[in-house]
Chains A and B, each alone.
Chain A
Amino acid sequence: MSQRAGWFAWLIFMIGALYFVLPLFGTFVFSLQKVRGSIGFSAYTAAFANPDFLRTFLFSSLIAVLTIVASLALIVPTAFWVNLRMPRWRGVVEFITLLPFVIPAIVLVFGVIRTYGKPLTLFGIPLLPPLLNTELSTNIVLVAAYTVLSLPYMYRATDNGLRAMDVRTLAEAAQSLGASWVTVLMRVILPNLRTALLSGALLTFAIVIGEYTIAAFLARPMFGPYLQLQVRNRAYEAAALTIVAFALTWLAMGIIDLITRQRSTPLTGGR
């Protein structure tokens, strides 16, 4: 019985493995054939040499970093506060952080364009000018939209991290030594959350760097739309960039894997 199960298991595994590897292999092989009749990396050098690549890639990286910062600044204090002081609100907060799963990116960006393409008013009182009118404020909206996308992952990561330690005792201990809330958060809670937050941050980075839908509709010069343009115009460079995008996702996931596996024991004692 077990032998047959083994045979079947191998078959299934091979199918899955092939499914995973073939498209990547195909893309890789394709990317090496830019010069007819020879195999080489000229598609990569050409892709990297294009100034638009560097520009969009750096811009995407910047937006990704800003998103991570915004998301951390929003989520960490919230999750901390919910755990410590507002446990009754846990359900509501959790529900909100899951909403991005219910609202597809294309719907989110549609709503955002609709809301911020015109002045924001409350009962006829103008609150904000149309944010999508200037480049800077559009970038702010872009970061905000990506922060929304990151909510489920970031909140989950933070909340898991918080639950793995005794927030209450740590906070009480710090406070009894005269620490303020800010000090508690910055010097006690944050260092304990390093692993969890790094996972959330890397995942957010992987999401933002190749994102297409929101970037395209807000017309920002991100890497995703640039790649789409390359697919249309320069197939070999596009293949090279696809491999790069994949490698980046891989790198992010690999690091997450690495840091979460060597589960740093959440410290409750001194160090």
Chain B
Amino acid sequence: MRRHETSSNLFISNLFISNLCVEASPTLMTTTLSVTSRRRFSWNWLGLAPFFLFSILFIFLPSASLFIDSFQNQAGQFTLENIAGLFEPPIPASYLLSIQISLATALMGGLLGFLMAYALTVGNLPRWLRPVTLTFAGVASNFAGVPLAFAFIATLGQVGFLTVLLRNVFGWNIYEAGFNLYSFLGLSLAYMYFQFPLMLLIMIPAIEGLKREWREAAENLGASTAQYWLRVGLPVLMPSLLGTMLLLFGNAFGAYATAYGLTGGNLQLITIQLGAQMRGDVLRNPNLGYAMALGMVVIMAVCISGYIWLQRLSERWLK
């Protein structure tokens, strides 16, 4: 997600997984401590009051103000103009570009991350590689924004390390061959840097959750490794695979700093458009910005709900 891009993802892997265990656990404090009194009831509420006050002030109020403003014109009257404005150029193209890049990096990052998780768990790699790779992945999935953008400029830019290496040693000028770092492909490559490690972090516990008995049972029944994966392994993992890819999608969709740092606003992602709108340039209708933000939240909400739903589905098998 990223959210806030520096979306630190070490914990995400078990974020929702532990959710369900709790609901099932009966240890949760009924009232052994209760010295019945009416006063205590109000005290209990007070305990959560600071948290709710904070969330109202800094999550709900800002969101609500954007929501309300999306349905108002500059004079403060109710209107659907802003929402309608979302469907006029250049906004749909921006949403589409953001969706495309999120989809591409979610799929590619998901594939590479999954294959790597597979290699580290089921493949016969030396054991010591695993903790090292996990730490690397933890760092990489948190390495985003301006530093990440610059790391790619220094590597694949016009005079980047890899560009020069390929040209001088292999005689292959990637820029003459049509590559451009400040493009869809270039930004996707940069996003991949935090996408696939996140997938890796989440998939490793999932793959480990596959029970040895299933594999043995399949083998006893004469299944080959390929058959086991196609008929048992992958179907069981499918909800987590898809769910995590939704998470990756959201991760890329909300990213701003990396894209801004790399392309400086050339690539018209929806976050870049929104940023430009906030800086006070461009669009004729300032209130359109609120609608753009609302649209983003809606898309993100769909992604994350899908992720939570799929994660719950996968709980059934992977405990």
Name A residues whose Cβ lies closer than 8 Å to a Cβ of B.
1-2, 5-6, 8-10, 12-13, 15-17, 19-20, 22-27, 29-31, 74-75, 77-78, 81-87, 89-90, 93-94, 96, 98-108, 110-115, 120, 144-145, 147-149, 152-153, 156-157, 159-160, 163, 168, 171-172, 175, 199, 203, 206-207, 210-214, 217, 224, 227-228, 231, 235, 238-239, 241-242, 245-246, 249-250, 253-254, 256-257
- Helix, strand, loop or mixed for chain A's interface? helix
Number of residue pairs spanning A and B whose beta carbons lie under 8 angstroms apart? 312
Cα distance A19–B105 in the bound complex, in angstroms = 14
Please tell me if B99 contacts chain A, counting CB pairs below 8 Å.
Answer: no
Scan B153-173; emit 1 where CB is below 8 A from any A CB, else 0.
111100011100000000000
Please tell me if B182 contacts chain A, counting CB pairs below 8 Å.
Answer: no
Q: Which residues of B contact A101 (CB under 8 A)?
A: 1, 3, 7, 250, 300, 304
- Pick from B47, B146, B255: contact of A231, CB under 8 Å: B146
* Minimum C-beta distance from B89 to chain A (A): 21
Scan B9-47; emit 1 where CB is below 8 A from any A CB, else 0.
011101100110010000111001100000000001001
Q: Do B112 and A212 touch (CB < 8 A)?
A: no
Please tell me if B145 contacts chain A, counting CB pairs below 8 Å.
Answer: yes
Q: Do A144 and B54 touch (CB < 8 A)?
A: yes
* Minimum C-beta distance from B240 to chain A (A): 17
| A203-B11, A211-B4 known; A249+B57 contact, CB < 8 A | no
Q: Do B66 and A231 touch (CB < 8 A)?
A: no
Cα distance A172–B197 in the bound complex, in angstroms = 43
| A83-B29, A103-B300, A228-B261 known; A77+B278 contact, CB < 8 A | no
Cα distance A199–B148 in the bound complex, in angstroms = 23
- Near A by CB (< 8 A), chain B positions 246-272 give 250, 253-257, 260-261, 271
Chain B: number of interface residues, binned into ranges: 35 or more
* Minimum C-beta distance from A52 to chain B (A): 15
Q: Do B146 and A114 touch (CB < 8 A)?
A: no
Q: Do A16 and B11 touch (CB < 8 A)?
A: no
- Pick from A23, A90, A145, A206: contact of B58, CB under 8 Å: A145
Cα distance A206–B5 in the bound complex, in angstroms = 12
Q: Which residues of B contact A231 (CB under 8 A)?
A: 146, 149-150, 153, 261
Q: Do B151 and A24 touch (CB < 8 A)?
A: yes
Q: What would be 26 A-B contacts, judged by CB atoms less than 8 Å apart?
A: A23-B156, A25-B161, A78-B51, A82-B48, A87-B28, A101-B7, A105-B3, A106-B271, A108-B59, A110-B62, A110-B289, A144-B54, A144-B58, A153-B8, A153-B10, A175-B33, A199-B10, A207-B142, A210-B145, A211-B257, A212-B256, A227-B146, A228-B260, A238-B150, A239-B150, A257-B134
* One of B120-128, B210-218, B230-238 contacting the partner: B120-128
Q: Do A210 and B147 touch (CB < 8 A)?
A: yes
Cα distance A84–B271 in the bound complex, in angstroms = 41
Q: Which residues of B contact A254 (CB under 8 A)?
A: 135
Please tell me if B193 contacts chain A, counting CB pairs below 8 Å.
Answer: yes
* Minimum C-beta distance from B215 to chain A (A): 13
| A104-B1, A156-B15, A212-B146 known; A249+B139 contact, CB < 8 A | yes
| A104-B1, A105-B254, A114-B69 known; A9+B62 contact, CB < 8 A | no
